[in-house]
Amino acid sequence: MTKPYPLKFQPEFKERVWGGRALENFGLNLPEGHIGEGWMIADHPNGVSSVVNGELAGLGLDQIRERFGSEWFGSKGHSEDGSRFPLLIKLLDCNDNLSVQVHPTDDYEGLPKGELGKTEMWYVLDAKPDAKIIYGLKEGVSRESLAKSLEDGTVMDLLQEVPVSAGDTFYIPAGTVHALCAGVVVAEIQQNSDTTYRIFDYNRPGLDGKPRELHIEDSLNVTAYEGAGATSMKTDGAVPGQWLELARSPYFIVEKGIVNGEWKLEADKESFTVLVICEGSGHLVWEGGSQPYAAGECYLLPATLGSYSIEGQSTLLRSYLP
């Protein structure tokens, strides 16, 4: 019988017109090209990450889910209908601006078959001077005024731009118009969905030299014109050995922690835990094992892991199900 242990995965890397090579700074071995996304923990038809450590090395997250079910993922993290792992964990390198976009809720009638809506959050790992993001609409923007601005090419005038620096965090509920801009590297925790509606893409060609598809009608339909509850915060207030809550949604809770020495913790029997190492290094230690960790790595801790400790000097994110 396989004893539960922290699972480390081989990411699925995605080339994007806006991507670059910044994820190499984490020691990740990138394929050639403009790599915009590392799907670090993924169980989706468009990408599945595979275990690289321990007894289960070589198995995909989908196979782990099917084999261990609620025993490892917890009663909240596994459903008997065989549905996918509920979260998708990414690192994003925004060497150029992403398209201005918006995501649907779970109940949107236009969702592709089998897809979920997409509520997400960002934690800024690195940001160049003067870096910014697009985060919501300006006050008073309606469906009619947004549609007109798209027709006459003035949509950027209706969007809120926010300066960003490392350590900033942004909660982006479905319906929030948003875009990461050039010079930002983020960790993204989101619903397990790959549905994005592009509103505007700066009239640029895609990787194939042709304009990328826009989804104007869907975007206008799903945008929350009165706001969807987006919140942001600086996280300088995090102190060693205490969790600072960054985002709480129906789909995930995300907290920031600082490790300075040894931090003893207990797995949540009702939910798996995801750790994203933002900076620093050290060891994960549990009964019967130890695993070195470093910045840019992500770990899935089974619900039945029991007592464990994080040792070293590091900053990390902890995500689990509410």
In the annotated binding site for Zn(2+), the residues are 103, 120, 178
CA 195, CA 105: separation in Å to the nearest integer?
10
Strand order in the sheet with 100-102: 159-163, 132-137, 178-180, 100-102, 197-200
Q: Let me know if 67 is a catalytic residue.
A: no
21, 198, 204, 212: which one is catalytic? 198
CA 235, CA 232: separation in Å to the nearest integer?
10
β-sheet bridge partners, residue 205: 211
Q: Report yes or no: 46 and 194 within 8 Å, Cβ to Cβ.
A: yes
Residues in the chain: 322
Distances (CA, A) of 182 to 95, 147, 215: 5, 25, 22
CA 158, CA 267: separation in Å to the nearest integer?
45
112's enclosing H/E stretch is none
β-sheet bridge partners, residue 316: 257, 277
Residue that the structure tokens 């942001």 belong to: 232
CA 76, CA 209: separation in Å to the nearest integer?
44
- Specify the 3-state DSSP secondary structure of 215: coil
Q: Report yes or no: 128 and 197 within 8 Å, Cβ to Cβ.
A: no
- Specify the 3-state DSSP secondary structure of 18: strand
DSSP 211: B
134's enclosing H/E stretch is strand 132-137
Burial 205-228 (b: 16+ CB within 10 A, else e): eeeeeeeeebbeebbbebbbbeeb
Q: Report yes or no: 91 and 36 within 8 Å, Cβ to Cβ.
A: no
The residues annotated as belonging to the active site are 198
